[in-house]
């Protein structure tokens, strides 16, 4: 038996429930839909699922606007369905991670409704950030919402409330102990229902400072925080050091309390992973100090170019920074907030990068559909639902492209996802990307993921750190190859668009695309491809 806890080097499969599988023909995925596909999930070789929010919600921000964190939205089913999903997952030895959203509630949450009614100065308003307007009638400060537009919305009696995201997502006031009490109740609620861990949404955002001060450059800051806005990296980094509402010291007190709560469940090994976009990168390690959370997402691979120097730096930095707090890194190539990796860097490159990352120490996150090599869905503006699109008057298209439902089977859209009309259209061009068609194609992305995840478990998990074998920083012939050894496996990625020779020893066990040839005692790695060799 492996003595390290289940989450240490897990592969975690992110399910966006609305887009996974629709069990009742209303066009939206739901919890019974997830339960009915657990065999498939298990067959991928993953250890756990992370479910994006399925709580009661008006769904203004894909369920990250929570109106009741201790209940299930009817569009996804009910609490019995959640219980059944967890039970069935556990039967398959799959852990379940729920998404908890502590930075804000929905404006439909009973607390916010009560705050609106109770009026200025009331106890009900103290749970949020309500302030009077400035004398000239303007909002209390000049912060810009992460979804565009002002961070403040005015209510009938003239006060404003703070919302870092959509106006339907009022930020909670974490200086008020009632807020933490309520969240601890929510954590216990889901742990008692059986979940094994939490993904903490906007974990770096809970505590605000200087709420009444203007920022010197709110538009610059807003651009710096948006990965879809190009900016000189020195300028971006300088601005990111000035965010008054992220990564304040107070957040760590919250996670220390939560850690005690998790640990009180003893050998249930409850874990938590923080979504924390912080700067400089070393700050991320604070979230995974021994008495805080278990993992923090590293988002660098969501934006990194397919370039040896860049990827070397990302991997090296993440491993070494985490090591300073005795934690292991996490790796994610896609999620529900960013363009899908196949669209961002190309199909072959995405496969190569996945295979490269699957060999690394730490936990790896796979966003449902990534295993199929899905690209972003091409959408008409009239299909879009992301609040970013509306709050920027269409200036920023938003994240719907990554959220298009999964194609399961058959030759015609919606490919078995639903018997009804899917909530976002699935392109007919995805015909060869369905689970059914990839299962019969030994060269498919799906086969690669299954093979690789099985080999990872067999030969790599638990086998310690990596040794770089070849990189521009480590005496390689060129910038084309990036290579490391770990345990008995040598991993070689060819980033260039031509075949490259390398001197890796051992027997080829998997290659992400193309075939590896031998020439003069050397191995020839195909373009845009990664290979694993077993000693």
Q: Active-site positions? A: 201, 275
Sequence-distant (≥ 6) Cβ neighbours of residue 424 within 8 angstroms: 19, 377, 379, 383, 385, 400, 403, 404, 405
Q: Please report whether residue 201 would count as binding ligand GLC according to CB under 6 A.
A: yes
The only residue of 76, 112, 165, 174 in contact with ligand GLC, by rule CB under 6 A:
165
**Segment interacting with ligand GLC (CB under 6 A) among 58-66, 307-315, 356-364, 523-531:** 58-66
**Segment interacting with ligand GLC (CB under 6 A) among 57-65, 73-81, 285-293, 519-527:** 57-65
Report the DSSP beta bridge partners of residue 198: 98, 272
Q: Give how many residues touch ligand GLC by CB under 6 A.
A: 10
What minimum distance in Å lies between the beta carbon of 65 and ligand GLC?
Answer: 7
What minimum distance in Å lies between the beta carbon of 44 and ligand GLC?
Answer: 22
d(CA 96, CA 424) in angstroms, rounded, equals 26
The only residue of 28, 47, 61, 81 in contact with ligand GLC, by rule CB under 6 A:
61
d(CA 95, CA 89) in angstroms, rounded, equals 7
477's tokens: 């012939």
3's tokens: 């003595």
Cβ-proximal residue to ligand GLC, closest one: 64
Q: Please report whether residue 166 would count as binding Ca ion according to CB under 5 A.
A: no
**Segment interacting with ligand GLC (CB under 6 A) among 59-67, 75-83, 148-156, 514-522:** 59-67
Q: Pick the closer one to Ca ion by CB: 85 or 491.
A: 85
Q: Pick the closer one to ligand GLC by CB: 172 or 510.
A: 172
Q: Please report whether residue 171 would count as binding ligand GLC according to CB under 6 A.
A: no
Give the footprint of ligand GLC on residues 101-160 (CB under 6 A).
101
Three-state DSSP at 68 gives strand
Q: Give how many residues touch Ca ion by CB under 5 A.
A: 5
Cβ-proximal residue to Ca ion, closest one: 30
Nearest to 171 by CA among 236, 97, 248: 248
Binding partner at 73 among ligand GLC, Ca ion, none, C-beta below 5 to 8 Å by kind: none
Report the DSSP beta bridge partners of residue 297: none
Q: Please report whether residue 337 would count as binding ligand GLC according to CB under 6 A.
A: yes
Lookup result for tokens 């999930």: 41
Give the footprint of Ca ion on residues 5-44 (CB under 5 A).
22, 24, 26, 28, 30
Q: How far is CA 36 from the centre of its chain?
A: 23
Which pairing describes strands 197-200 and 271-274: parallel, antiparallel, or unpaired? Answer: parallel
d(CA 403, CA 63) in angstroms, rounded, equals 13
- Find out whether 114 and 124 touch, Cβ atoms under 8 Å: yes
Nearest to 229 by CA among 103, 392, 346: 392
Sequence-distant (≥ 6) Cβ neighbours of residue 23 within 8 angstroms: 30, 32, 33, 36
Q: Please report whether residue 247 would count as binding ligand GLC according to CB under 6 A.
A: no
Binding partner at 24 among Ca ion, ligand GLC, none, C-beta below 5 to 8 Å by kind: Ca ion
d(CA 520, CA 39) in angstroms, rounded, equals 45
Q: Pick the closer one to ligand GLC by CB: 22 or 61.
A: 61
By CB neighbour count within 10 A (0-12 exposed, 13-18 middle, 19+ buried), where does 188 fall?
middle
Binding partner at 300 among Ca ion, ligand GLC, none, C-beta below 5 to 8 Å by kind: none
Which residues are at the interface with ligand GLC (CB under 6 A)?
Answer: 61-62, 64, 101, 165, 201-202, 275, 336-337
Which residues are at the interface with Ca ion (CB under 5 A)?
Answer: 22, 24, 26, 28, 30
């Amino acid at each position: 038996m492996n003595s390290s806890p289940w989450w240490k080097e897990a592969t975690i499969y992110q399910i966006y429930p609305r887009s996974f599988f629709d069990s009742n023909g209303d066009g939206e995925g739901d919890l019974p839909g997830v339960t009915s596909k657990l065999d498939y999930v298990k067959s991928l070789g993953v250890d756990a699922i992370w479910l994006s929010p399925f709580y009661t919600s008006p769904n203004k921000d894909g369920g990250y606007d929570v109106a009741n964190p201790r209940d299930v939205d009817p569009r996804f089913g009910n609490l019995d369905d959640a219980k059944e999903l967890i039970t069935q997952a556990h039967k398959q030895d799959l852990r379940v991670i729920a998404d908890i959203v502590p930075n804000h509630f929905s404006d439909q949450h009973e607390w916010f409704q009560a705050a609106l009614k109770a009026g200025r100065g009331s106890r009900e308003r103290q749970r949020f950030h309500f302030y009077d307007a400035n004398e000239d009638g303007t909002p209390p400060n000049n912060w810009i919402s992460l979804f565009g537009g002002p961070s403040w919305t005015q209510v009938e009696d003239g006060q404003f409330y703070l919302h870092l995201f959509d106006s339907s997502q009022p930020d909670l006031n974490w200086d008020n102990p009632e807020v933490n009490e309520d969240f601890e109740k929510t954590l216990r609620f889901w742990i008692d229902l059986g979940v094994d861990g939490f993904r903490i949404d906007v974990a770096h955002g809970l505590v605000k400072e200087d709420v009444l001060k203007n920022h010197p450059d709110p538009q610059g800051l807003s651009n710096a925080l948006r990965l879809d806005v190009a900016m000189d990296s020195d300028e971006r980094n300088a601005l990111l050091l000035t965010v008054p509402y992220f990564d304040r010291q107070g957040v760590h007190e919250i996670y220390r309390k939560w850690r005690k709560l998790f640990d009180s469940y003893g050998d249930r090994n409850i874990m938590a992973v923080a979504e924390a976009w912080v700067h400089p990168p070393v700050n991320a390690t604070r979230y995974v100090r021994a008495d805080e959370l278990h993992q923090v997402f590293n988002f660098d691979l969501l934006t990194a170019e397919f370039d040896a120097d860049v990827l070397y730096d990302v991997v090296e930095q993440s491993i070494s920074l985490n090591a300073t707090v005795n934690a292991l890194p996490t790796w994610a190539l896609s999620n529900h907030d960013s363009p899908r990796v196949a669209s961002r860097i190309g199909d072959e490159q995405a496969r190569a990068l996945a295979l490269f990352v699957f060999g690394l120490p730490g936990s790896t996150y796979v966003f449902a559909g990534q295993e199929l090599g899905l690209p972003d869905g091409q959408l008409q503006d009239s299909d879009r639902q992301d609040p970013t699109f509306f709050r920027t008057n269409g200036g920023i298209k938003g994240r719907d492209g990554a959220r298009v439902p999964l194609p399961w089977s058959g030759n015609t859209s919606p490919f078995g996802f639903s018997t009804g009309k899917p909530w976002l259209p699935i392109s007919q061009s995805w015909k060869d990307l369905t689970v059914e068609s990839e299962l019969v194609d030994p060269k498919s992305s799906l086969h690669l993921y299954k093979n690789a995840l099985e080999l990872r478990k067999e030969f790599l998990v638990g086998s310690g750190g990596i040794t770089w074998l070849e990189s521009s920083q480590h005496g390689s012939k060129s910038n084309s190859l990036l290579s490391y050894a770990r345990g008995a496996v040598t991993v070689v990625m060819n980033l260039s668009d031509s075949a490259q020779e390398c001197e890796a020893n051992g027997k080829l066990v998997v290659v992400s695309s193309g075939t590896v040839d031998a020439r003069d005692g050397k191995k020839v790695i195909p373009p845009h491809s990664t290979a694993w060799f077993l000693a």
